[in-house]
């Protein structure tokens, strides 16, 4: 019987098993490294996100009217500021001249609402880098009432110098009637300007104020008309 030597197999299998485990460990490590690299890429993408398409580079905390704006927004603020200022001047005349308690009360409400709005619009123009006046002059020379130029770029409803002088000279019921009529015309002019802003403006903050102007001043026009009807 021919003798032969058996080749040991167990060590070979053990070596193969060890090699397989090592290969699997390397594969898992490589996958883990890929995940970490991808995570880093994702975070980097978040930090370098594309800027907003609004065209504003300032955060809302720094800009009182953040986001994109156009010429209509700028013109709305530049025209509404002197328009509001004249309403404040008219309302101040009620003290010592008005007889009707409703006129006195409403004049205070008008001042309380429009003075803060003037400051808001001034802050917008400053943030936008625009002057308070489009032409660098005051707006006292614009004609008012039905003669306001409206579509030609003037401010509808503005009082003339003669209107203001007549209101200053009036007292009692005569003042109340004149104040109510002139303020109705004045408010209607502001409503017209605010509607133009809602239609043509782009800045969300400016358009929101335009909405407020339309709602508040339309209500006051109704109140003034009621007063005028009973005087």
pLDDT of 20 over the 50 cut: no
Query: What confidence tens digit (pLDDT) does each residue in 159-194 have?
Result: 999 999 999 999 999 999 999 999 999 999 999 999
Model pLDDT, residue 154: 63
pLDDT of 56 over the 80 cut: no
Model pLDDT, residue 136: 56
pLDDT of 116 over the 50 cut: yes
Average pLDDT, the chain: 77
Model pLDDT, residue 215: 97
Return d(Cα 53, Cα 50) in angstroms, integer.
9
Query: What confidence tens digit (pLDDT) does each residue in 136-151 have?
Result: 544 443 333 333 333 3
Task: Find out whether 142 and 149 touch, Cβ atoms under 8 Å.
Answer: yes
pLDDT band at 62 (very low <50, low <70, confident <90, very high): confident
Q: What is the pTM of this model?
A: 0.68
pLDDT of 207 over the 50 cut: yes
Question: In the predicted model, what is the mean pLDDT of residues 39-60?
Answer: 35
Query: What confidence tens digit (pLDDT) does each residue in 76-105 have?
Result: 999 999 999 999 999 999 999 999 999 999
Return d(Cα 156, Cα 148) in angstroms, integer.
4
Return d(Cα 168, Cα 178) in angstroms, integer.
10
Model pLDDT, residue 135: 74
CATH of domain 71-132+151-230: 1.20.1260.10
Report domain extents, the chain. 71-132+151-230
Q: Concatenate the DSSP letters of all residues of 129-140 into one string.
A: T--SSSSSS-ST
Model pLDDT, residue 175: 98
pLDDT band at 21 (very low <50, low <70, confident <90, very high): very low
Model pLDDT, residue 120: 97
Q: Concatenate the DSSP letters of all residues of the chain into one string.
A: ----PPPP-HHHHHHHHHHHHHHHHHHHHHHHHHHHHHHHHHHHHHHTPPPPTT---S-TTT-SS-S---HHHHHHHHHHHHHHHHHHHHHHTTTTTB-SHHHHHHHHHHHHHHHHHHHHHHHHHHHHT--SSSSSS-STTS--GGG--GGGS--TTPPPHHHHHHHHH--HHHHHHHHHHHHHHHHHHHHHHHHHHHHH---HHHHHHHHHHHHHHHHHHHHHHHHHHH-
Comparing 33 with 84, the larger pLDDT belongs to: 84
Listed in sequence order, the residues at least 6 apart from 6 whose beta carbon sits closer than 8 Å to its beta carbon are none
């Amino acid at each position: 019987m021919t003798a032969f030597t058996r080749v040991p197999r167990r060590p070979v299998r053990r070596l193969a098993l060890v090699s397989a485990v090592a290969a699997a460990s390397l594969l898992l490590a490589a996958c883990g490294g890929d995940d970490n690299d991808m995570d880093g890429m994702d975070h980097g993408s978040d930090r370098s996100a594309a800027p907003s398409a609004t065209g504003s580079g300032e955060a809302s905390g720094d800009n009182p009217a953040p986001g994109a704006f156009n010429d209509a927004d700028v013109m709305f603020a530049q025209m509404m500021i002197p328009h509001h200022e004249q309403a404040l001047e008219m309302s101040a005349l009620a003290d010592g001249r008005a007889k009707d308690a409703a006129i006195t009360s409403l004049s205070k409400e008008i001042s309380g609402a429009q003075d803060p709005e003037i400051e808001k619009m001034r802050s917008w123009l400053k943030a936008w880098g625009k002057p308070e006046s489009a032409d660098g002059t005051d707006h006292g020379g614009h004609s008012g009432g039905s003669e306001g130029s409206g579509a030609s770029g003037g401010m509808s409803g503005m009082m003339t110098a003669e209107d203001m002088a007549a209101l200053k000279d009036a007292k009692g019921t005569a003042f109340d009637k004149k104040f109510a009529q002139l303020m109705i015309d004045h408010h209607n002019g502001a409503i017209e300007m605010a509607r133009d802003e809602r239609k043509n403006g782009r800045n969300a903050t400016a358009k929101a104020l335009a909405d407020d102007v339309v709602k508040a001043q339309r209500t006051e026009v109704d109140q003034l008309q009621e007063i005028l009807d009973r005087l």
